[in-house]
Amino acid sequence: MDLSTIAFVVLASVAAGGLAYVFLYPSLSGERRAEKRQAAVAARAPSQRIERAVRDASGRRDQVAQTLKEIEERRNSSKASLEDRLSQAGLGWTRSRFFIFSALFGLAAGLVVFVTTTNAIVAALVLFTGALGVPSWFVNYLIRRRIERFITELPNAMDVIVRGIRAGLPLGDCFREIASSAQEPLRTEFRMVSESQAMGVTLSEALEKLAKRVPVPEASFLATVITIQTKSGGNLSEALSNLSRVLRERKKMKGKIQAMSMEAKASAAIIASLPFIVAFMTYVSSPNYIELLWLTFTGKLVLAASAVWMMIGVLVMKKMINFDI
Q: How far apart are CA 210 and CA 325, in angstroms?
A: 21
Q: How far apart are CA 281 and CA 286, in angstroms?
A: 8
Q: What is the pLDDT of residues 136-180, one digit of tens each?
A: 888 888 888 888 888 888 888 888 888 888 888 888 888 888 888
Q: How far apart are CA 252 and CA 248, in angstroms?
A: 6
Where do the structural domains in the chain lie, given as residue ranges? 31-77, 83-234, 261-321
Q: What end-to-end distance do the CA atoms of the chain give, in Å?
A: 106
Confidence of residue 123 (pLDDT cuts 50, 70, 90): confident
The whole-model pTM stands at 0.60
Of the candidates 319, 317, 313, 322, the one whose C-alpha atom is nearest the C-alpha of residue 261 is 322
> What is the reported pLDDT for 50?
52
Is residue 132 within 8 Å of residue 165, measured between CB atoms?
no
DSSP symbols for 45-108: HHHHHHHHHHHHHHHHHHHHHHHHHHHHHHHHS----HHHHHHHTT----HHHHHHHHHHHHHH
> What is the reported pLDDT for 153?
85
Least confidently predicted of 74-83, 204-213, 223-232, 246-255: 74-83
What are the distances in angstroms from CA 104 to CA 43, 98, 108, 138? 83, 10, 6, 15
| Whole-number CA gyration radius for the chain | 39
SS3 annotation, 219-285: HHHHHHHHHHHHHHCCCHHHHHHHHHHHHHHHHHHHHHHHHHHHHHHHHHHHHHHHHHHHHHHHHHH
